C-alpha cells in the first residue's frame, strides 16, 4: 500500500481545519490521522464528524487515535476517565494506585469500546491503537524502577505471584494482557464494520516492550501493523535504529498478510536533523514499506512543547521526502478541480476571498519584515543601496516597486536586478554578474524575491551578494525554502496554494507587492523622505506632481498660497527646502544648510523652532 500520511491535532474550528486539510491534500499527502481525545469525546463528537467528512471530501483516508485516552495510549492529552474511575486504575508494585486505566479491568475495556464506537460514528476509516502500554512510572511521578499492574483484577487473572517482582513470568503476563486487550478492542471495531491499525512501541524487551510482534500481527481483525521508531528518544542513529525496526515490521507484517505502516517524527527536530530524517525515510523504503507517515502537521510548530525554531524547514523537508511535492504555491487545490465550470460571479467572489487571506499572511510576517526594514535603514543611511533581485513575476514586482521609488521619493538608492527571460531564470550566475557590475558591497542590501524560494537566478544572486559582504534578505511565499536558508534574514509569507495551480502572479504576486511596497515606503519614511504622512521629496517633473508638491508645502506649513508659491520658487521646486524655509523663517540657503546637517530629515532641521 503506497500512502503518505500526517497526523493533525489541536484545532477544532471546522473552517480552519478545512483550510489545513486543503494544504495537506495539496502537498500530496493521501491520508491524515486525527487525534480524538477524551475531551473531544466529551465535547466535540459532532465537530470531529465534520472534520472527518471534510477529510474525505478532499480525498484523504482517515485514521483516528485514542490520544492520551486513559493514559495507556500515546498523546499529550489528559484523561478525565481516570479521575472518575480510580478503582479501575493501575496499581504499582509498591501498592500505590496511579492515574492510568488498567488494561485488564472490564470497566476500562468498556470505556475504550465506547471511545471506538464514537470514532467509528465520526466516520474514521481506521481506528489507530496508538502505543498501547502499561503505565510509565515517570509519567505519573513514580520512581523508574516501579511497575504495574498489581490490582485485584490482574492478581486474579495472572496465575503468578505478582509480589515476586517483575519476573519473566510477570513480564509474560503483562505482554499477554496487552495482546488480549488489543484482540478484544480490534474485534469490537471489526464487529462495527471498522478496520484496525495497531502501532507498537519500538521495543521488543524491557518493561514496556512487546517481545512477540507475531502475536499482535496474528490478531484476526488487524488490518495494519505499525511502529514509530523515533530514534532521538533512544540515542541511536536514524538509519540503524529505524532500519532495524523497519525490517522487523516488514517481516512480521508479511508473515501475517497485514499492512506495514511506519511513523517517523518531524516534531522536535532542527535543521541539523533533516539529514537523519531523510536517512530514516530511505531506510524505511529500503525495507519495502511504502505506507509512511509523519507526526505531525507543520512539524508540530504550533505546539510549544514539540516545536523548534526550525519546524518550518523540517516540515518542508519531510513533505518533500514523503510526497515529492512542489512548492506550496504551485500545488493543485483539490477542491477547485471544477474551477472552469463555475459561473463568472462565483469566480470573482472566489478570487476575492482568496486575496483577503494575503493581508493576513503578510501580517503574520510583520516581525520579520520590521526586522529587515531596520537593517536596511541602517545601511542606506550610510549611503548603501537596496537591490531587489528576482525573475519572472517576482522580478517584475521587484522592478515595478524600485521604479516607483525614484520619482516618489527622489532616491536612487533602491534599484532592481531582474529578468523576464524564462530561460535566464535557470542561470545561477546571470544576476550575480549584474551585481558584480554594480559593485555591491558591505553597506548594500540585496533582497531576493522568489515565490517558491528556489529560483536559481535569485539563489545565485544571494550567494554572490553574501560573498561580497552585503546583507542578504530572502522573500518567499513558502516556509523553509532554499532562499530562506541561504539568506541572512528570511521573510516568509505563506499564502498557500493558488486558485490556479502554478500561477504565482496571483496570491504570491500580491503578497510580494505588499511586502516590497511596505519595505520601500517605511525605509523612505525612516530616512526622512516624508514629513508626517506628506510626500515631500517628490520629483515634481510634471504639472500634476508640481501641484502635489505645492499642496504638501501648504499642508506642512499652513502658510498662505502666495508665500508657498514664493518659497517653492526660491527653493527651485524642492518641497523640503521650501518647508524648512517657511517653518524656520530662514532663506533657502539656510534651509538647505539645516537639512544637510539633519541628514534630510525635516523634523530635525526645524526642531529648534517647531515643538
Q: Which of 76, 378, 404, 563 is catalytic?
A: 404
- 176 is annotated as an active-site residue: no
pLDDT at 326: 45
Structural domain range at position 579: 534-605
More confident residue, 368 or 406: 368
The answer to whether residues 167 and 276 belong to one domain is: yes
CA angle 197, 72, 46 (to 5 degrees): 65
Residues in Cβ contact with 343 at an 8 Å cutoff, skipping those fewer than 6 apart: none
Structure confidence at residue 98 (pLDDT): 96
Same domain for 149 and 166, yes or no, is: yes
| DSSP-derived 3-state class of residue 241 | helix
Could you say which of 495, 526, 557 is where a domain stops?
526
User: Same domain, yes or no, for 517 and 541?
Assistant: no
Same domain, 126 and 100: yes
At residue 529, the pLDDT reads: 83
Lowest-pLDDT range of 245-254, 348-357, 441-450: 348-357
**Is 364 part of a structural domain of the chain?**
yes
Q: 474 pLDDT exceeds 70?
A: yes
Q: With beta carbons less than 8 A apart as the criterion, state whether 73 and 66 touch.
A: yes
The conformational region for residue 223 under phi > 0 = left, psi -120 to 50 = alpha, else beta, is alpha
Q: Are residues 22 and 142 in the same domain?
A: yes
Band the pLDDT of 572: cuts 50, 70, 90. confident
Q: Please identify, among 507, 526, 545, the residue that sits at the C-terminal boundary of a domain.
A: 526
- Measure Cα distances from 361 to 102, 383, 417 in Å: 47, 32, 26
Paired with 97 in beta bridges are 91
pLDDT score recorded for residue 569? 85
| 294 and 401 both lie in a single domain | no
Domain at 542, CATH number:
1.10.8.1080
Per-range mean pLDDT, top range of 15-24, 44-53, 340-349: 44-53
Of 296, 327, 358, the position where a domain reaches its end is: 327
Rg for the chain, CA atoms, rounded: 32
Region 293-317 average pLDDT: 92
Residue 342 resides in a domain: no
Of 298, 425, 494, 498, which one is the catalytic site residue? 425
Query: Does residue 508 lie within any of the structural domains?
Result: yes
Grid cell 521609488 is found at 405
Is pLDDT above 90 for 581? no
What would the mean pLDDT of 255-265 be, rounded to a whole number? 97
For residues 180 and 272, membership in a common domain is answered with yes
Residues 77 and 208 in one domain: yes
**Is it the case that residue 506 has pLDDT exceeding 90?**
no
- Split into its structural domains, the chain has a count of 3
For position 598, what pLDDT does the model report?
85
pLDDT at 327: 47
Alpha-carbon torsion (348, 353, 354, 355), positive or negative: positive
Q: For residue 339, is it within any domain?
A: no
DSSP-derived secondary structure for 280-303:
HHHHHHHTT--EEEEE-GGGGTT-
Question: Is 175 annotated as catalytic?
Answer: no
Give the three cell numbers for residue 195: 478496520
pLDDT, tens only, 150-164: 999 999 999 999 989
Cα separation, 469 vs 488, whole angstroms:
11
Co-location of 190 and 285 in the same domain: yes
Domain of residue 137, CATH code: 3.20.20.80
C-alpha span between 502 and 452 (Å, rounded): 10
Query: Does 383 reside within a domain?
Result: yes
Instruction: Evaluate whether residue 340 is within a structural domain.
Output: no
401 versus 424: which is more confidently predicted?
401
Residue 10 near residue 44 (C-beta atoms within 8 A): no
Regarding predicted confidence, which is higher, 317 or 113? 113
Residue 312 shares a structural domain with residue 426: no
Q: pLDDT value at position 330?
A: 55
Residue 27 has pLDDT above 70, yes or no: yes
Average pLDDT over residues 145-153: 95
Q: Are 436 and 567 part of one and the same domain?
A: no
Does an H or E element contain 100, and which?
strand 97-101
pTM: 0.61
For residues 264 and 361, state if they share a domain: no
pLDDT band at 328 (very low <50, low <70, confident <90, very high): low
The continuous run of DSSP H or E covering 511 comes out as helix 507-526
Residue 387 Cα distances to 432, 476, 505, angstroms:
12, 16, 21
CA distance 170 to 166: 6
CA distance linking residue 246 with residue 157, whole number of Å: 34
- 236: pLDDT strictly greater than 60: yes
| Mean pLDDT, the chain, integer | 90
In this structure, what CATH number is given to the domain that contains residue 488?
A: 3.40.50.10490
- 3-class SS of residue 164: helix
How many CB atoms are closer than 10 A to CB 210? 20
Q: Cα 71 to the chain's mean position, in Å?
A: 29
User: 329 pLDDT exceeds 70?
Assistant: no
Lowest mean pLDDT among 7-21, 52-66, 500-514: 500-514
- Return the pLDDT at 325: 54
**Residue 416 vs residues 247, 259, 441, 454, 492: alpha-carbon distances, Å:** 54, 55, 15, 19, 20
Q: Per-residue pLDDT averaged across 227-250, rounded?
A: 93
- Whether 96 maps to a domain, the answer reads yes
Q: Which helix (H) or strand (E) holds 129?
A: strand 126-130
Residue 213: pLDDT above 80? Answer: yes
Question: Quick one: pLDDT band at residue 384, thresholds 50, 70, 90?
Answer: very high
**To the nearest 5 percent, what fractions of the chain are helix, strand and coil?**
50, 15, 35
DSSP label at residue 336? G
Q: Is residue 334 part of a domain?
A: no
> How far is it, in rounded angstroms, from Cα 480 to Cα 319?
11
Amino acid at each position: 500500500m503506497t500512502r503518505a500520511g500526517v497526523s493533525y491535532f489541536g484545532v477544532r474550528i471546522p473552517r480552519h481545519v478545512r483550510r489545513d486539510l486543503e494544504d495537506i491534500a495539496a502537498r500530496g499527502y493521501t491520508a491524515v490521522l486525527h487525534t480524538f481525545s477524551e475531551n473531544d469525546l466529551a465535547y466535540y463528537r459532532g465537530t470531529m464528524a465534520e472534520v472527518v467528512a471534510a477529510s474525505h471530501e478532499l480525498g484523504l483516508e482517515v485514521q483516528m487515535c485514542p490520544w492520551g485516552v486513559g493514559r495507556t495510549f500515546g498523546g499529550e492529552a489528559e484523561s478525565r476517565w481516570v479521575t472518575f474511575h480510580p478503582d479501575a486504575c493501575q496499581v504499582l508494585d509498591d501498592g500505590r494506585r496511579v492515574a492510568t486505566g488498567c488494561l485488564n479491568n472490564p470497566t476500562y475495556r468498556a470505556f475504550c469500546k465506547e471511545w471506538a464506537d464514537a470514532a467509528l460514528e465520526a466516520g474514521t476509516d481506521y481506528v489507530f491503537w496508538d502505543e498501547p502500554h502499561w503505565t510509565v512510572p515517570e509519567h505519573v511521578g513514580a520512581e523508574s524502577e516501579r511497575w504495574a499492574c498489581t490490582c485485584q483484577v490482574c492478581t486474579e487473572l495472572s496465575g503468578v505471584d505478582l509480589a515476586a517482582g517483575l519476573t519473566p513470568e510477570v513480564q509474560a503476563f503483562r505482554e499477554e494482557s496487552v495482546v488480549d486487550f488489543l484482540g478484544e478492542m480490534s474485534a469490537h471495531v471489526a464487529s462495527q464494520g471498522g478496520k484496525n491499525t495497531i502501532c507498537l512501541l519500538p521495543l521488543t524487551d524491557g518493561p514496556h516492550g512487546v517481545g512477540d510482534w507475531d502475536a499482535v500481527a496474528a490478531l484476526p481483525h488487524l488490518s495494519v501493523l505499525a511502529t514509530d521508531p523515533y530514534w532521538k528518544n533512544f540515542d541511536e542513529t536514524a538509519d540503524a535504529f529505524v532500519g532495524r525496526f523497519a525490517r522487523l515490521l516488514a517481516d512480521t507484517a508479511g508473515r501475517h498478510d497485514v499492512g506495514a505502516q511506519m511513523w517517523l517524527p518531524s516534531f522536535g527536530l532542527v535543521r541539523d536533523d533533516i539529514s537523519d530524517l531523510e536517512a530514516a525515510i530511505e531506510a524505511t523504503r529500503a525495507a519495502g514499506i511504502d505506507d509512511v507517515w509523519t507526526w505531525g502537521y507543520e512539524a508540530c510548530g504550533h505546539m510549544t512543547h514539540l516545536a523548534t525554531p526550525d519546524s518550518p524547514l523540517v516540515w518542508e523537508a519531510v513533505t518533500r521526502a514523503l510526497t515529492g511535492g512542489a512548492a506550496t504555491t504551485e500545488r493543485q487545490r483539490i477542491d477547485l478541480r471544477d474551477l472552469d465550470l463555475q459561473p463568472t460571479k462565483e469566480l470573482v467572489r472566489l478570487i476575492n476571498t482568496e486575496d483577503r487571506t494575503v493581508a493576513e499572511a503578510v501580517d503574520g510576517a510583520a516581525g520579520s519584515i520590521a526586522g529587515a526594514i531596520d537593517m536596511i535603514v541602517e545601511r542606506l543611511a550610510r549611503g548603501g543601496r537596496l537591490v531587489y533581485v528576482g525573475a519572472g513575476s517576482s522580478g517584475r514586482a521587484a522592478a515595478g516597486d524600485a521604479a516607483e521609488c525614484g520619482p516618489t521619493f527622489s532616491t536612487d538608492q533602491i534599484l532592481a536586478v531582474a529578468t523576464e527571460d524564462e530561460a535566464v531564470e535557470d542561470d545561477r550566475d546571470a544576476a550575480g554578474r549584474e551585481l558584480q557590475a554594480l559593485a555591491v558591497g558591505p553597506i548594500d542590501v540585496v533582497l531576493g524575491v522568489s515565490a517558491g524560494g528556489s529560483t536559481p537566478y535569485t539563489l545565485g544572486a544571494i550567494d554572490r551578494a553574501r560573498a561580497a559582504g552585503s546583507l542578504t534578505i530572502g522573500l518567499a511565499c513558502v516556509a523553509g525554502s532554499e532562499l530562506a536558508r541561504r539568506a541572512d534574514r528570511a521573510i516568509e509569507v505563506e499564502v498557500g496554494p493558488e486558485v490556479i495551480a502554478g500561477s504565482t502572479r496571483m496570491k504570491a504576486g500580491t503578497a510580494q507587492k505588499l511586502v516590497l511596497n511596505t519595505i520601500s515606503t517605511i525605509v523612505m519614511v525612516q530616512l526622512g523622505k516624508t514629513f508626517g504622512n506628506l510626500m515631500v521629496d517628490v520629483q515634481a517633473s510634471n504639472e500634476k506632481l508640481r501641484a502635489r508638491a505645492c499642496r504638501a508645502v501648504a499642508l506642512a506649513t499652513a502658510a498662505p498660497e502666495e508665500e508657498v508659491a514664493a518659497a517653492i520658487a526660491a527653493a527651485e521646486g524642492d518641497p523640503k527646502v521650501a518647508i524648512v524655509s517657511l517653518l524656520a523663517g530662514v532663506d533657502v540657503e539656510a534651509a538647505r544648510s539645516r537639512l544637510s546637517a539633519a541628514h534630510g530629515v525635516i523634523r530635525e532641521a526645524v526642531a529648534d523652532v517647531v515643538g
